[in-house]
Structure 1
Amino acid sequence: MLNCCGLVSEENEPVPLKSISVQLQVKDHVVSVSSRQQYVNEEERPLEAVFVFPLPADAAVCHFSARIGEQEIVAELQDKQSARDQYDEAVSSGQQAFLLEESDESWDVFKLSVGCLSPGQNAVITIVYVMELSVQADDALRFCLPAVLNPRYTPAASSAGVPEVSSACVIPYTLSLSVDVNLSAGHRFDKDVELLLYYENTHHPTVVMEAGASEAQPGSLMGDPVLMISLYPEFPAVIMSSLASQGEFVFVVDRSGSMGSVMHHGKDAQMRIESARDTLLLLLKSLPMGCYFNIYGFGSHFESFFPQSVVYSEDTMEEALKRVKNMRADMGDTEILQPLNHIYSQPCHPDHPRQLFIFTDGEVWNTKEVLDLVKSHVYSHRCFSFGIGEGASTALITGMAREGSGHAQFITGTDRMQPKVMESLRFALQPAVDRFSVDWTLPEGVTVDMLSPPINNLFQGQRALIYAQLKGQSSGTTRAAVTLNYRLKDQPVTDQLQFTLKPKEDTGWTIHRLAARSVIRSLELEERAGGADAEAIRSRIVELSVQAGVSSVHTAFIGVNKDSKQTVKGPLLQRRVPVQSLFRQSAPGMRIQEPEPQTDPLLQLVSLQKASGCWELNTTLADVFGKTEDEVTNHRPAQVDGSVWATVLALIWLNTCRSDDQIEWQFVAMKAASWIRSQKRETFIHSFIHSFIHSAFSVS
């Protein structure tokens, strides 16, 4: 594991980051973020500082400037190598210079180099970025200001050029966040800041049109109007209750040393690996009979429970549960490509679509390579991803779900993993919106170029933002329309959206820049796929990045203070901003001692259920209910089998004692009800339930 890095004094004290101020402007489903960071050189010699920090994975950086005293330096976006050369030349000649560049390995990591700060000198850095707001399970739009970036594990052979990063929470600076509200003074930025926005008519599609820049060339992306279409389909209750009984489910669990840390720093916090074990219990009990499944654990190496996926049965489920109980965070560092390559190499089972559930705290170094692999298998594998704990890489977690047509979830703070994972399982078992098409009604002389990749599927809880560029001029009407066509469980759906070709002037160009970011990301994926046109693709990325003013892997922001009256003389101290590891790291093969957890009665009940969906009537089940075996047995009608009675009692307990946790036990309950129906005892049992609730099974 890499050591912590950062900007430190000779006494190992953190310097010079003093404050961060953040302002947000929300527009429909997107946001523009302006972040100001103040640095001070408190040392007695000139300083070169390197600050590695996180940004959201889908952020498009579109402005970078620095103020030194009264001097404002606005950086230009250039080819990355050219920008690096200019920076090195300026610093070596004693000029002040600033360089902001995106990591070659991960979209959510940026490196800021601050060159030639004189002793006692202040520098205020301003970074502006735009991004899409993600949709949450309750239809809220979520903005997250990352505070934590866990260290990325890097194999020794691949360490060159990978930034050493971690949490900035130990640095004693202040944070101000302005979104019509301000955080109190002294707020400690030791965890992500989240903002949830709720709109009316959340499932109603919308279209927003943004005028082009007047100084840009007509016909270019920035010179023409750009549209953003938001599609967030609503799934009726009948669709939500329609679950598939087939499929292959592969659960891939991070078992690196970082998974031995706690989920949060509050009271009674679980270890990450402990929460993963509990979640696997729920998943295994919730799978439908006759499907296929397997479980992988990975770290420096990987292992699978079975050589290949097996049919879900009582025997295979019990075997898997025994191995789940022994899972520990003891597999060293994190290498996720190996298990993914192995999974993708396995032949798929006909009529059983393969779906991956990947659990990790996001400490991988080769994010882009992982996403390329996931994308290349999207037509045969769907991917659900779960970021565990503060600092999980948004680029990795959201990227795997996006490229794998799945769903991403983040488990942070005091969030429980189980309800979020079971929500994703419901998505995996539900039909999807498919067969998308977009039709345009435009006046003569106006054409449209689609800037977003085509949509294959949308699942419940997913939202698509579609970008399009309008070209040409209309001499007549300014009215136009776009029609969205898709299918939801074999039912055709059509939405038509009206808009005008004369939008209000907008100097922010948020939508233009996000559209450019979408095109750039597609080009970067195409470039990494290889081919004879790689150099042409690279040139197109640089051209579009510079034209739109948004960052890319091949460009960087460079600013040089050429008006400075004096140069900085003497050797520079190079400092890196100190950061703190949020977990204790174990060596490969080391077993972390974990405390024996207190068993949740819900998980205890679920653990007793058979794969078919029934429970057995015994003392262990009675203990979950807080009853003796005699108390639950004496009220059993003589004509009712013990397993049928036990299953009825379990369903009653779930609905009366744990109704608030229904999302966690919904599938085990569905299996139980289905099993009772198969016993042809349903009508007889119903006659006993009401009286039983009010007598032998009273609950507080």
Structure 2
Amino acid sequence: MNCCGLLNAEKEPVPLKSVEVELEVRDHVATVVSTLNYENKEDKPLEAVFVFPLPGDAAVCHFSAKIGQTEIVAEVKEKQKAREEYDDALSSGQQAFLLEESDQSPDIFSLSVGSLRPGESASIRLEYVTELAVQADEGLRFCLPAVLNPRYQPRGSEDVCIQVTSVPASLVPYSLSFSARVSSPRPVSKVESNCPLDALQYLNTEQTQATVKLVGGHKFDRDVELLIYYKDAHQPTAVVEAGQASAKPGSLMGDPVVMLSLYPEFPQAVMSSVASCGEFVFLLDRSGSMDGSRIKSARETLLLLLKSLPMGCYFNIYSFGSSYEHIFPKSVEYSQKTMEEALKKIEEMGADLGGTEILEPLKHIYSQPCIPSQPRQLFVFTDGDVGNTKEVIHLVRKNSGSHRCFSFGIGEGASSALINGLAKEGGGHAQFITDTDRMQPKVMQSLRFALQPAVMDISVKWDLPKGVSVTALSPPITALFQGQRSLVYAQLTGQSSEAAEGCVTVKYSLAGHPSQNQLHFSLKPAEDTGRLPVHRLAARTLIGSLEMEERESRGEQEEGVKKKVVELSVQSGVSSAFTAFIAVNKGDGEVLQGPLVVRNVPTPRMMACCMPMPQYRKSFSPVVQLNSYRRPQSKVSESSLPKQPPRDPLLQLVSLQKASGCWVLDPALAAALGKTSRKVEKSKPASVNQEVWGTILALIWLHGFKMDAQEEWELLAMKAVSWLRAQNAPCVTECVEAGNALLGFNVQKDALGI
């Protein structure tokens, strides 16, 4: 065995030496150019197979290889044809390169580099464009996924074709260099990352252009997350991109394409009336990979969620792994009794249910009849490693009329295709929570969205100059949330003068009130970058809709849709589920000597605590392996367990709140406030009952001590204020003054909202 050079876990040499990534962000569209440098240090010809994640909605639009001075640009072809061409090239001694999307999930790609002669180097260039999602704090999130956790394949499933070779993150044997250029019509206020960055460099005095890069010597041992903040980020915008001169007018690539970013603003009167009804279903991943801080954070988040629910709603909590469990046989009305029962069960939840079988609990939830006048809101928490992503998303789409789905991707390696797909098809909102993030603020933002009244009857109306017609490329908008971006792509056919203007109006009904938002925009195309990112993203959006349609159609219709996808993919140069990029180096035709050796390039694995259970099946990939996880069980005596760390003071106080919103004056509340029962009792104004006094003290403590975490407790405080108002308690002003004196604050009555 050759043990020189870079080695993977199996002690085989690793042909991938380094990864270079250049990111260009224009407003909220990112163009990513990755260069992967390979070198064969062995004495045999080599085939290198690298399986890696990309953002699920990325449009891969360029793939080329450089060997010595020869550059070969790949073409998009129907997948089976591309695979056959690749095999034929290798068997006739030619070099070939194949890039294809996994059949199960659009965020997994397989790159086959075959064949590298002994001592030979190759540079692979891969380009994709993607939209940047808006985060809870208005930052735009770009993620360069490094971590590919082995996808859990459901039992009984034969359809496996993902090759994953994983090593612990610390042993990843290739380096990453990463630089980014950001430009926007609005100033760039800051750029943050989970990895060390060099200082942000502004390129102009308006601060609308900037560059930043990772500190040198970065090991590509985790996802690289970049958060970009603009001033006045919530302005609606329109970008018109001119078509490709070489493409036929009237075709998608030949015509101009417009991308609209809409931020609906709802009337304040409607927004202030938070819904007091709904069926809230929480679905929590308890697979082995959730062990440790992830499951602890999830339990704490469920506590906050349950305390923040409105009286009169219904709820249930499901958890899943290889099997699934529920706290109640069906959703129950929210009350003190049902809340306490649920919290008791949550405390006992561990990451001990094995694999990640999310499909069956979802089927069970959808089989439950909806409760009249209680709109269903589904919250899904998972670290998102499943092999049947497309099937799961299809199920959510099929049931999209009966609920809204809010999804949360937890930790490194969470599948963006799964998390974004659940929210997109379920008319909800997606959030990504890395292991360094606090889960609670993001989840509470989604609960605020879920409590917003559902927007009905959404329509988009275009007003364009004579001679210009429009073809929508995006699926119809099914969900709108206050201040959250909605993207619309459309093809513009026909001629207009340079100075011409268009107008788009989004009409909808909110809580029975008709409403609309309007955007006027110039039809003059933006400066041409030659990369056509808007066209590529529009093509990817249309391809995604057609792929979903193909899953729902049968027979001739299915074949017709598939043909449409292949045609669109080839025309736009954007990858799809039915196409692949193929490049063949015809070269000198010299036949390779000796057998071709396969080397699988390892990707980082973030979960050291899990035990792999491989499954195998013959397929096009040289080797097929998927891992599922079950945490080893062992009996431990109570005395040997480590003592529980003291609970976070905020969670301590929140855990004492009643379902109605009030706090009862007892020794536990006094302790949470940091006072003795005697002192708290003694400070109480005589005419006030204990629940009113306890509730006012809790509100003063939250405002005085925990303003930095207000987004976490805001909803449960609103519930407490509603309860107080309903009591018509006397001497509220006196209570607030006495509470401030006791706790050492100066919180005004108005600030408390009472």
Q: Per-residue deviation at 1:685?
A: 2.2
Cα deviations by residue, 1:638-666 (Å, 9 ceiling, x for unpaired): 22211221111111111111111111111
Q: Which of 484, 498, 501 is residue 505 of structure 2 equivalent to? A: 484
More displaced 10-residue stretch of structure 1: 430-439 or 37-46? 430-439
Q: Per-residue deviation at 1:349?
A: 0.6
Letter in 1 for 2:91: S
Q: Which of 343, 347, 363 is residue 365 of structure 2 equivalent to? A: 343
Q: Is the 8 A contact 2:277 2:374 kept in 1?
A: yes
- The equivalent residue for 1:278 is 300
Q: Per-residue deviation at 1:363?
A: 1.2
Q: Distance in 2 between matches of 1:611 and 1:567?
A: 76
Q: Which of 559, 563, 573 is residue 549 of structure 1 equivalent to? A: 573
- The equivalent residue for 1:137 is 136
More displaced 10-residue stretch of structure 1: 396-405 or 505-514? 505-514
Letter in 2 for 1:479: A
Q: Distance in 2 between matches of 1:651 and 1:230?
A: 39
- The equivalent residue for 2:37 is 38
Partner SS, residue 230 of structure 1 = strand
Q: Distance in 2 between matches of 1:331 and 1:697?
A: 47
Q: Does 1:218 align with 2:266?
A: no
Q: Does 1:647 align with 2:695?
A: yes
Structure-2 change in CA distance of 1:278 and 1:9 (3 Å)? closer
Letter in 1 for 2:678: D
Q: Is the 8 A contact 1:432 1:460 kept in 2?
A: no
- The equivalent residue for 2:618 is none
Q: Distance in 2 between matches of 1:405 and 1:379?
A: 9
Q: Distance in 1 between matches of 2:533 and 2:364?
A: 41
Correspondence list, 1:300-699, <5 A: 300-474=322-496, 479-487=500-508, 490=513, 492-501=515-524, 504-532=527-555, 533-564=557-588, 566-583=590-607, 584-585=609-610, 588=630, 591=633, 596-681=644-729, 683-695=730-742, 697=744
Q: Is the 8 A contact 2:684 2:738 kept in 1?
A: no
Q: Does 1:171 align with 2:202?
A: no
Structure-2 change in CA distance of 1:233 and 1:139 (3 Å)? farther
Q: Does 1:120 align with 2:119?
A: yes
Cα deviations by residue, 1:333-375 (Å, 9 ceiling, x for unpaired): 0110000000001100111000000000001111111111111
Q: Is the 8 A contact 1:14 1:578 kept in 2?
A: no
Letter in 2 for 1:174: S
Q: Which runs of 5+ in 1 are unaligned?
A: 1-6, 263-270
Letter in 2 for 1:561: N
Q: Per-residue deviation at 1:443?
A: 3.1
Q: Is the 8 A contact 1:484 1:496 kept in 2?
A: yes
- The equivalent residue for 1:203 is 234
Q: Distance in 2 between matches of 1:597 and 1:387?
A: 26
Q: Is the 8 A contact 1:218 1:224 kept in 2?
A: yes
Q: Is the 8 A contact 1:246 1:291 kept in 2?
A: yes
Q: Is the 8 A contact 2:662 2:723 kept in 1?
A: yes
Letter in 2 for 1:516: A
Q: Distance in 1 between matches of 2:9 and 2:677?
A: 69
Q: Is the 8 A contact 1:8 1:575 kept in 2?
A: no
Letter in 1 for 2:502: A
More displaced 10-residue stretch of structure 1: 523-532 or 385-394? 523-532
Cα deviations by residue, 1:97-125 (Å, 9 ceiling, x for unpaired): 11000011111100000111112211110
- The equivalent residue for 1:3 is none
Partner SS, residue 737 of structure 2 = helix
Letter in 1 for 2:732: I
Letter in 2 for 1:247: G
Q: Is the 8 A contact 1:419 1:664 kept in 2?
A: yes
Structure-2 change in CA distance of 1:432 and 1:292 (3 Å)? closer
Structure-2 change in CA distance of 1:354 and 1:665 (3 Å)? same
- The equivalent residue for 2:614 is none
Partner SS, residue 400 of structure 2 = coil
Q: Per-residue deviation at 1:589?
A: 8.0
Q: Distance in 2 between matches of 1:94 and 1:645?
A: 84
Q: Which runs of 5+ in 2 are unaligned?
A: 1-5, 181-210, 612-628, 748-754
- The equivalent residue for 2:68 is 69
Cα deviations by residue, 1:276-328 (Å, 9 ceiling, x for unpaired): 11111111111111100000010111111111100001111111111111111
Q: Is the 8 A contact 1:357 1:385 kept in 2?
A: yes
Letter in 2 for 1:499: S
Q: Per-residue deviation at 1:575?
A: 1.4
Cα deviations by residue, 1:583-635 (Å, 9 ceiling, x for unpaired): 22266585588853431111111111111111221111111111111111111
Q: Distance in 2 between matches of 1:150 and 1:10?
A: 15
More displaced 10-residue stretch of structure 1: 624-633 or 331-340? 624-633
Q: Is the 8 A contact 1:9 1:43 kept in 2?
A: no
Q: Distance in 2 between matches of 1:696 and 1:334?
A: 47
Partner SS, residue 659 of structure 2 = coil
Q: Is the 8 A contact 1:436 1:484 kept in 2?
A: no
Cα deviations by residue, 1:538-577 (Å, 9 ceiling, x for unpaired): 0000000000000000000011110135232111111111
Q: Is the 8 A contact 1:102 1:551 kept in 2?
A: yes
Tell me the C-alpha RMSD between the 2 structures.
Answer: 2.2
- The equivalent residue for 1:18 is 17
Q: Is the 8 A contact 1:207 1:229 kept in 2?
A: yes
Partner SS, residue 482 of structure 1 = strand
Correspondence list, 1:25-104, <5 A: 25-104=24-103
Letter in 2 for 1:636: K
Structure-2 change in CA distance of 1:679 and 1:502 (3 Å)? closer
Letter in 1 for 2:413: G
Correspondence list, 1:246-257, <5 A: 246-257=277-288
TM-score scaled by length of structure 1:
0.93
Q: Does 1:158 align with 2:182?
A: no
Structure-2 change in CA distance of 1:553 and 1:697 (3 Å)? same
Q: Is the 8 A contact 1:211 1:226 kept in 2?
A: yes
Letter in 2 for 1:279: T
Q: Distance in 2 between matches of 1:123 and 1:195?
A: 29
Structure-2 change in CA distance of 1:599 and 1:162 (3 Å)? farther
Cα deviations by residue, 1:445-503 (Å, 9 ceiling, x for unpaired): 321111111112211352111111111335x6751312223345625233131313565
Correspondence list, 1:255-266, <5 A: 255-260=286-291, 262=292
Q: Per-residue deviation at 1:508?
A: 1.1
Q: Is the 8 A contact 1:329 1:591 kept in 2?
A: no
Q: Distance in 2 between matches of 1:485 and 1:687?
A: 49
Partner SS, residue 343 of structure 1 = helix
Partner SS, residue 230 of structure 2 = coil
Q: Is the 8 A contact 2:141 2:226 kept in 1?
A: yes
TM-score scaled by length of structure 2:
0.87
Q: Per-residue deviation at 1:13?
A: 4.4
Q: Distance in 2 between matches of 1:207 and 1:699?
A: 47
Partner SS, residue 47 of structure 2 = strand
Letter in 2 for 1:585: C
- The equivalent residue for 1:181 is 212
Q: Per-residue deviation at 1:434?
A: 4.7
Q: Per-residue deviation at 1:258?
A: 0.7
Letter in 2 for 1:538: K
Q: Distance in 2 between matches of 1:239 and 1:187?
A: 49
Q: Per-residue deviation at 1:442?
A: 2.8
Matched residue count: 683
